[in-house]
Chain A
Amino acid sequence: MRESTHEVQAPQGHGRCFGSHLPVPQLGLIALLVSELVYLTIRFDTQALDRASSPWLHLVAWSPQYLRLAIAAAIALLALRNSRLGVSSPPRSPAASASSRIAWLAVHLGALALFIQISAVVFDPARSSPHAAGWVLAWFLSGLCALVAWGLALAPRRVRLPQSVQVRRLMGLAVLLGVAAWLSGYATEALWRPLARYTFWAVSGVLGLMYPHVVSDPQRLVLGTPAFRVAIAPECSGYEGIGLVLAFLIAYFWIFRRELRFPGVLVLLPVGAVAMWLLNVARIAALIAIGSAGWRSIALGGFHSQAGWLTFNAVALGFVVVLNQVGFFRKAAPATSVTEHADSTPAYLAPFLVVMAAAMLTGAFSAGLDWLYPVRVIAAAWVLWVFRKSYANLDWTLSWRAIGIGFATFAVWIALVPSGPPGARWPAALESVPFFWAAAWLAVRFVGYTITVPLVEELAFRGYLTRRLMGADFEQLPLGLFSWSSFVISSLLFGALHGGFWLAGTIAGMAFAIALYQRRALGDAVLAHATTNGLIAFYVLATGRWSMWA
């Protein structure tokens, strides 16, 4: 069974052939700059300059602020580029672009090498202090040179004069917006500490209802019970959650502005901010309650890191439901705008989302080893069963080529993912439990990793996302339809989902997509994925390299 067994013509405007144009040089240069920034931020720590005696070195200590400013301007430029102010690209000469791009790239790499050498001196105040002004000037000049050369490598063609005015205006506006965003962010940091104080008093009130004796130190914002206490840092004051939910709502309002009723929907902004703050109060109270009950490692581990995301997701998706259901927030839609066909989006996405939500929930109540992992497998099996009829048309026939792709991906994974030294027969956390329970947990982990994970991830990424990236009416597009942008973006997002293993994850995503394109059968992508995961599982079990099985 497969959704499309024959050559299928894509609807006009969707999908391209394998050789269609993708701005590979530009994407490569952006990836290069991001990698360089990551390397520089890891290697050089500005905290080393906090106590430097020279005021010149304090200019360098401010470099994280320069980075924020640059990110702000870049995002503003991207946002404006798609607005009415955006300019169309002028015609270019590919040969001239390629040669000048390589030349500017060489200049960039040379300047970067110089910048790294100078940074090594500047970030060591003992070496740089005697001639701080000179070193800091050289640091700025070499950094500026590297950035300008990168920019010229990105866009080496000459912009024609009439458009250059437009480009300058656009860039000027982007810089202004970026500076405003940066300044507002910098200014609002001053609000973190007062908000932490309000959060402290609110949590203190909640704890007073739960415990007869509450330990509280208002000066240091330390709060808890005699058994367990925490310090409420400014970062825990609720500010981040409020910022995230406001960003989400504003983005949602902007994207769906044509169907929402303004200014009515704006009332949800303060409601969202207050809801997030109250939920953060509840989160901290729950954290103290968990710690006071004797589960310190869960309180400070899984719960602390996951509860914020859980509340943000609950609030954000709750608002989407409200905006969809409550007529007050919506413009009257024409009767013809409602589609009549059954939408299969839930069949593709629900298993993945349920597994993700289950992982967050079980992660919140675990420390180190996820003892509740079987919940994920049961949840995935249940959703797959609910939508089983939707998968009836997918091709599940055996493909040796898909298995081969799975083996090749396994080899890449082993080569790229740091495996660590061979370990014990069991993960350390399983040593303390009876053999039967340890073996049962490992068996469920194996089943989840080799069966449910490939199914839910392939349905979401290769079954849904690759087509959704080509058009909102993804069901009209045949499975396995190729376009460079959907191939690259879906693989990058798949890689991002694998956190620290993002590079291996991206390559694996590309390999599974290729498995899909071979016969336009989603079953092939699932089979390739399951083969890779099965081999990794056997490798981990055989060698005891448990860190790979994250």
Chain B
Amino acid sequence: MRKFSRWLSGGAAVMVAVHALASNALASANVVPEIGPGSISAGLALVAGGVLMLRARRGSK
């Protein structure tokens, strides 16, 4: 059961990640999407840096 749930969650993670990436990377240029592709590096840098900092703060008690 644990193995099955591991596979299920891993597969779901891959599917969502792929689709989120593909829909952003291949969004039509005619319509401005909800998540602006021009700011993808800044947006991802902010969230990744934020996670690193928040988790670092948690460790320093």
Contacts and interface: CB of A to CB of B under 8 A. Distances in A.
A253 B51 CA distance: 13
A305 interface: yes
Contacts of A250: 9, 12-13, 16-17
A185 interface: yes
B13 A313 contact: no
A194 interface: no
A401 to B, nearest CB: 29
Nearest to A315: B47
Interface string B39-61: 10111011101111111111111
Contacts of A237: 34
Contacts of A357: 46
Interface residues of B, number: 48
A336 interface: no
A320 B55 contact: yes
Contact of B22 (A72, A180, A317, A363): A72
Interface in A52-110: 64, 67-68, 71-72, 75-76, 79, 83
Contacts, number: 184
A181 B53 contact: no
B34 A280 contact: yes
Interface residues of A, number: 74
Interface string A344-385: 011001101100110110010000000000000000000000
Contacts of B25: 71
Give the secondary structure class of A's interface: helix
B33 A240 contact: yes
Nearest to A300: B32
A295 interface: no
A497 B44 CA distance: 10
A350 B12 contact: no
A493 B10 CA distance: 26
Give the secondary structure class of B's interface: helix
A479 B35 CA distance: 37
B32 A305 contact: yes
Given A241-B35, A339-B60, A317 B51 contact: yes
A1 B7 CA distance: 51
A309 B42 contact: yes
A521 interface: no
Contact of A247 (B16, B42, B57): B16
A260 to B, nearest CB: 12
Given A244-B35, A359-B42, A185 B18 contact: yes
Given A235-B34, A247-B16, A360-B42, A324 B55 contact: yes
A547 to B, nearest CB: 15
A9 interface: no
A338 interface: yes
B15 A184 contact: yes
A65 B27 CA distance: 12
Contacts of A468: 52
A304 B33 CA distance: 9
B33 to A, nearest CB: 4
Among A67, A68, A182, chain B packs the most CB atoms within 10 A around the CB of A68
B13 A238 contact: no
Contacts of B32: 235-236, 300, 304-305
Contact of A346 (B24, B26, B47, B53): B53
A236 B34 contact: yes
B20 A240 contact: yes
Given A312-B35, A345-B53, A349-B53, A246 B16 contact: yes
Contacts of A184: 15, 19
9 contacts: A75-B14, A241-B35, A251-B17, A280-B34, A340-B61, A341-B60, A346-B57, A360-B42, A496-B41
**4 closest residue pairs by CB, A with B:** A305-B36, A345-B56, A185-B19, A309-B43
